[in-house]
């Protein structure tokens, strides 16, 4: 039983380390920002999730003290990762809005039959209201 | 066995931090650098947790939690500054 739990903790640490490494490798090697954004927000978050599971198991079964700090960190990181990715992507889109001529910054046309564009470039309700006045 | 796994974790996270530093230095524009900084904080949290397992002490978790919060707020503030030219309007 002891051996099984040690094996599980070690496996979780190794998996977490590999995922973190893959995420950072993607951040370093992928060609442009929109591709780079995928690596850290998914792989690195998953990697740290593995490490936190390992930490919970270690302190619960080997040190015999149950701590909820890891759970707090996990929940916080998993909630925050999409928000960060969204903000970085939005900043990228808005900063390179006027550089549509170069192929690297060209946005794909909206899919489907409807004529909606990129929602982040639409005028907000407040803006259009002040324009009407 | 856990000891060797932690060593492996230390090595892989160290390499990850080096790659993030590469992106932080090379990064063509400021948004890439923000992304690299965010990943760097997440990797540092992983390093804190690994160090806690290695030492067998749970005092590092407060530092890790603080790091997570400050890292998130930093990223949001940087992005907001680039988007609007101001952080709190």
Q: With beta carbons less than 8 A apart as the criterion, state whether B75 and A87 touch.
A: yes
Give yes or no for B77 touching A (CB within 8 A): no
CB pairs under 8 A between A and B: 151
> For an interface test with A, which of B49, B54, B66, B80 has the most A Cβ atoms less than 10 Å from its Cβ?
B49
> Across all residues in chain B, what is the average pLDDT?
89
Tell whether B6 is covered by a domain.
yes
Domain count across chain B: 1
> Across all residues in chain A, what is the average pLDDT?
82
Q: pLDDT, tens digit, for every residue of A60-107?
A: 888 788 877 788 888 898 999 999 999 998 888 888 777 766 666 677
3 state SS for chain A: CHHHHHHHHHHHHHHHHHHHHHHHHHHHHCCCHHHHCHHHHHHHHHHHHHHHHHHHHHHHHCCCCCCCHHHHHHHHHHHHHHHHHHHHHHHHHHHCCCCCCCHHHCCCCCCCCCCCCCHHHCCCHHHHHHHHC
Percent of chain A with pLDDT over 70: 78
pLDDT higher than threshold 80 for residue A131? no
Q: pLDDT, tens digit, for every residue of B17-56?
A: 999 999 999 878 888 999 999 999 999 999 998 998 888 8
pLDDT at A3: 87
Domain of residue B7, CATH code: 1.10.287
Tell whether B89 is covered by a domain.
no
Nearest CA in chain B to A16: B9
* Calpha distance A98→A65 (Å, rounded): 56
Provide the residue range defining the domain that includes B14: 2-84
Give yes or no for B61 touching A (CB within 8 A): yes
Domain boundaries, chain A: 2-108
Mean pLDDT score, B59-72: 89
């Amino acid at each position: 039983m002891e051996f099984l739990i040690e094996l599980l903790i070690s496996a979780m640490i190794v998996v977490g380390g590999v995922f973190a490494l893959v995420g950072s490798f993607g951040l370093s090697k992928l060609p442009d920002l929109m591709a780079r954004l995928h690596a850290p927000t998914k792989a690195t978050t998953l990697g740290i999730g593995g490490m936190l599971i390992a930490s919970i198991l270690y302190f619960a079964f080997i040190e015999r003290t149950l701590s909820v700090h890891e759970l707090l960190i996990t929940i916080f990181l998993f909630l925050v990762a999409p928000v960060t990715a969204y903000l970085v992507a939005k900043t990228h889109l808005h900063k390179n809005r006027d550089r549509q001529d170069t192929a690297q910054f060209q946005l794909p046309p909206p899919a489907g039959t409807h004529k909606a564009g990129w929602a982040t470039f639409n005028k907000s309700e407040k803006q259009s209201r002040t324009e009407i006045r | 066995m856990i000891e060797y796994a932690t060593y492996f974790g230390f090595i892989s996270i160290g390499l990850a931090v080096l790659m993030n530093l590469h992106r932080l230095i090379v990064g063509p524009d400021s948004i890439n650098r923000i992304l690299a900084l965010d990943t760097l904080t997440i990797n540092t949290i992983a390093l804190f947790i690994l160090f806690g397992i290695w030492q067998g002490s749970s005092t590092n978790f407060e530092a890790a939690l603080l790091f997570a919060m400050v890292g998130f707020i930093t990223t949001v503030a940087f992005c907001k500054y680039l988007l609007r030219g101001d952080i709190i309007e």
